[in-house]
Structure 1
Amino acid sequence: MTPWPDVVGIIFSGRTDSQGIIASINEAGVDQFASKPWMPDHRLLALANAVEARTLQLQIQHLIWRCACAQSPAGWRSSCMVAACL
């Protein structure tokens, strides 16, 4: 488990040491990696993909919360639904 599970990680690196890069990716739990030379379009696409990934993570968390609340006792449902809408 990564120390920051809600962060979509991207590394842009100028390093050529593949072992160092692989270790960094594994240690940080990086979602995307790009090395030099990189094109401006590639960086923008990586950022757009990161935003989309985070949006999907939030939508999944919201659905899980709603399912858990739907299965909880009636007294809990009203507070769960209010929290799920935040």
Structure 2
Amino acid sequence: MRLPDLTDLALSETTIAVRVSPKASRNAIERKGGEMRIYVTTVPENGKANAAVIKLLAKALGVPKSRLSLIRGETSRDKVIRID
């Protein structure tokens, strides 16, 4: 799995809007223009997909998972994540 380099977004107090596709065939992040799509293989049950999104995004950003927090879209495909 190859992730894009998103270190340019890893600034404190930055918010990132993403569209999530759970139950995908692979874990991946696609960034086209101002839109970001995250594909995770995890099912959307009990926050498992959200945890997978945070883990994948933290790896691509080069920051610890503890710096990321989901501020909107817990049960939606459209999410907003903040970097603390």
TM-score normalised over the length of structure 1: 0.28
More helix by share: 1
Q: Greater RCO between the two (CA within 8 Å, min separation 6)? A: 2
More strand by share: 2
Bigger CA radius of gyration = 1
TM-score normalised over the length of structure 2: 0.29
